[in-house]
Every structure is written in C-alpha cells, then in structure tokens.
Structure 1
Amino acid sequence: MGQDIRGKIAYITGGSSGIGKATARQFAKEGIHIGIIARNPDKLAKIKEALAGYDVNVVTCSADISKQEEVKTAVQTLEQQLGKADILINNAGISEYGNFQEMDEETWKHIFEVNVFGTYHMLKEVLPHLSGKQKGDIFNISSSNGLKATAGSTAYSASKFAVQGLSEALMQEVRTDNIRVFTMNPSLVATELVFGDELEEQNEEKYMQPEDIAEYIAAQLKLNQRIFIKQSAQWATNPF
C-alpha cells in the first residue's frame, strides 16, 4: 500500500503562480502544511488568502532564490513558523528565448542564477531537514528542454540540463537516507511563464494545465517509501 501524506510539511518555491500555486492548492486538499517562497509579496498574500479555507498551516516568505542569504532567511522563517520540511518542491524558474548570438551575458547568468543556483540554495538549506529525519522527498521541476534542447533556448536548455545532472547525482547520494529525488520534465504547460497576460485565452482542453502536474506530484508522494519515479516526462496528449 501507499503512504499517508496528511500532516506532512512541504516547502514550495515559486508557489504564488503556475505549477507552484497549483501544487500548493493540491497539497492543501491533501492535508499537507505548506511553506511558500516567491518574490512577489502581493501574489503571496493572494495565495495565502486562497488557502485559508483548508485545514492546514500556510506560511509565506518573499525571497529571491538566486540569493543565498535570502533563501537562508526564508527557510529559517518557515522552519520556525511551520516546522522542518518533509517535502521540497524546487519549482521556481525563469526562461528567456532568443538566438545564442543575440542573448547577452547578463541574461545567461541570470537564468543560471535562478534555475540552477536557486535550486542549489534551497537544497543546501533544506536537505539537512530531510537527512535529520532520515526520510523525505525532493521534486526538482526541470523541463522537456532539459532532455532535448531546442533552437532559441540555449541558456534555458543549458540550465535545465544542469538541473538534470544535479538531480541524478544527488539522488545517488541521498538514497541511503531514505530520501527520494524526483525529476519532472513537463513540456508546454499553460502558465504565466509561457503565455504571460494571455493565459486565460488558452484552451484547457488542449494545453496541459498546472493542476495536472500538481495531481501527479501528489500521486508520486503517495507511493510506498520504498519506491520512487526517478525521472518522468509530462506531455499534452493533443495540443495541436
């Protein structure tokens, strides 16, 4: 049989929009207490209000995950107000598309600072929680672009390939502590990251939705602790 996830504590980055927001809502339905880290205080206030009707504790922190000191402060706040994490969802990320020769160095660096070093910073602060409990779950949200690069995505694809390598090596290191590392690689998901202000115009019957990813995350968590899905890819059935 699978395991009961009610009462666990999850930290989610980028939890005020997109996949992170949907995951926070799904976790609230499942009875998981939630710590949300994101940059925008207004969006954080809205998601906290939206989750107020669920019988779970919700704590939010505004932080830029590319900055180690901000991550450290945020994680300390979540630990003090919520408790040490059982689950870490590394979801926050940014993208920028353009031909290699057209993209400047600062943009390249910033993508890596958020997508790669942001994940690193969170792992560095939260992994001791899981190691101390000798049990836990880490979800690193990569991308289909982290499995197969596409033209115009040199920086984004490179950052997501880096997340793949980090996840693979970390998974081997922490298995002996009963910590599971899941790497997820969704293709196009109807989020602000992809569609921006035109999000509401997207066809929900065609495009993969953040809620689809959130439901899958919850299902993986319920697997018996002796098993996990190391790497998976999520695709829309017929988006054309």
Structure 2
Amino acid sequence: MQSLTGKTALITGAGRGIGRALAHKLAEEGVHVGLVGRTSANVENVAEELKRYEVKAVSAQADVSDRDAVQAAIKQIKDGLGSVDILINNAGIGKYGRFMDLSEDDWRYVWEVNVMGVYHVTQAVLPDMIERQAGDIVNISSTSGVRGTEGSSAYSATKFALHGLTESLMREMRRENIRVQAITPSKVITDFTAENNLSDGSEDNEHFMQAEDLADVVVSQLKLHPRMFVKNTELWATNPK
C-alpha cells in the first residue's frame, strides 16, 4: 500500500459530517487538507481542529453550485497548499417528498449542488492532475443512486447522474493515471440524516454507519497501489435495528 503522507486533499462539504470525518482521517495520515464548505464558521472550525496534526489546513467558503465561488475557493486553497492530489466531492443536499409535492425549485437546487457542484469542482482541479499524470477523485454518492426509493425522486435522480458522471470520467481518466471512484453508502448517521428526517427516532443509531466508518474506507482505498483502484464501493450497515 502507498503512503499518503505529504499529499494534498481537497474536500467539499468539509464543515461537518462525512466531510469533517474525512478531513480528520486524512490528516492522521499526514495529508494536507483544503476544506471547502458553504458555511465559513464550520470549515474554519474544522481547520482549527486539524492543528493537532502535523499538517497544513486551509479553509475556504463556497456554495459548490456557484462556479465563480468554487474557482475563487480553489485558488485560495491552492495558494496555501499547492496542487491537489486527492479530490473528494462530498458536498450534497437532499429534498424529500412525493414527486408531485416537490417544486421545480427543489429539483433545480438539488441538481445544481449534487451534480453541477461536482462538475464545477472537478473542472477546476482536474487540469493539474492531467498535467502531472496522477491523482485521485472520490465522489461520495448513495445507494439512492443505484435504486430509487419512495419520496427520494429528486435526490435519487442526482445520485444516479453522479454514478453516470463517475463511470464516464473514470474511463476517460484511466489513461491519464487518474483514479476516479464512487463511494456508495446506505444511511450514514450525520446531521444530514437528522435534518432530512431520515430516521424516525426509534432506531439504534449505533447499528448504522457513522461518518468515521466511511472515512476509514475512503482512506484505505486511497492507499492502494496506484496501479489499481475500486471503481465503486457499496457500503451497508451489517444489522440495522
């Protein structure tokens, strides 16, 4: 397995939940971390937390649906850390409800964040990776992107699209020695779960995946020898109750 020490990672949606867990796990491995989030205070807090590790951390505020804001944020991070070796597209939102009850605005914003956000960030980072002929892109998806469920039409549509984007980009970038993969978890207990009422409160959350569990998987796969990668990793809770 390869060492990640000294590499630089950029994480979107890095202010809490999965993004925060990924930042800590990568920093433990000696990775310098760029943190992008919609709320300045959240990513600044994570950058402060990472001071316990012997790595550099730079935070920048951006809504990934805003191309100009993304470009400014990534410039800020590259100015502080240099070129990005690892991109983790984690930022995402959900809108849930019956198909006829979701508005066009609901659909449009979920699409702009979950799909166009990945496009904006990847477009800004990828040229340097191609020039260096090396890099990793990890797209955080969901099992809602491989099977639709009642009440998740907008969210599922974006995650299905993300899988198509990931598959196509993977096939293009292999010849550039760039690994592109999707991480596809079922329910992960985070603020996202609570805010979108994805738990009825009667479940034992310890029986579901935690953000730290997913971060462990991502880091272990990034450490694989550069000549190989896992295209898609579908993660499930062993015995949810």
Q: For this structure pair, what is the TM-score category when the shorter chain's length is used for normalisation?
A: over 0.9
**Partner deviation per Cα, 1:66-113 (whole Å, 9 max, x = no partner):** 000000111111111110100000000000110000000000000000
1:223 alignment partner in structure 2: 224
Equivalent residues in 2 for 1:21-32 (5 A)? 21-32=20-31
1:235 alignment partner in structure 2: 236
1:207 alignment partner in structure 2: 208
1:44 alignment partner in structure 2: 43
Percent identical among aligned pairs is 45
Equivalent residues in 2 for 1:153-172 (5 A)? 153-172=152-171
- 8 A Cα contact 2:96 2:196, kept in partner: no
Distance 1:170 1:196 in 2: 31
2:179 alignment partner in structure 1: 180
CA shift in 2, pair 1:203/1:50, >3 Å: farther
1:94 alignment partner in structure 2: 93
2:131 alignment partner in structure 1: 132
Q: Find the residue that maps to 1:88 and give its secondary structure.
A: strand
1:133 Cα deviation (Å)?
Answer: 1.1
Segments ≥4 residues shifted beyond 6 Å? none
Distance 1:9 1:88 in 2: 9
**Partner deviation per Cα, 1:97-133 (whole Å, 9 max, x = no partner):** 1000000000000000000000000110000121111
**Which stretch has the larger CA shift, 38-47 or 93-102?**
38-47
2:111 alignment partner in structure 1: 112
**Partner deviation per Cα, 1:46-79 (whole Å, 9 max, x = no partner):** 1111111110000000001000000011111111
1:203 Cα deviation (Å)?
Answer: 4.0
Distance 1:188 1:140 in 2: 16
**Which stretch has the larger CA shift, 20-29 or 37-46?**
37-46
1:196 Cα deviation (Å)?
Answer: 3.3
Q: Find the residue that maps to 2:183 and give its secondary structure.
A: strand
Distance 2:110 2:26 in 1: 28
Distance 2:136 2:29 in 1: 16
1:204 Cα deviation (Å)?
Answer: 4.9
Q: Find the residue that maps to 2:15 and give its secondary structure.
A: coil
Distance 2:223 2:102 in 1: 42
**Amino acid aligned to 1:98:** G
Q: Find the residue that maps to 1:36 and give its secondary structure.
A: strand
Q: Find the residue that maps to 2:47 and give its secondary structure.
A: helix
1:197 Cα deviation (Å)?
Answer: 10
Q: Find the residue that maps to 2:206 and give its secondary structure.
A: coil
Distance 1:128 1:221 in 2: 20
Unmatched segments (≥5 aa) in structure 1: none
1:141 alignment partner in structure 2: 140
Q: Find the residue that maps to 2:120 and give its secondary structure.
A: helix
Distance 2:128 2:240 in 1: 40
Structure 2 length-normalised TM: 0.96
**Partner deviation per Cα, 1:120-166 (whole Å, 9 max, x = no partner):** 00110000121111011000011000000101100000000000000
**Which stretch has the larger CA shift, 189-198 or 139-148?**
189-198
**Amino acid aligned to 1:49:** E
**Amino acid aligned to 1:112:** W
Unmatched segments (≥5 aa) in structure 2: none
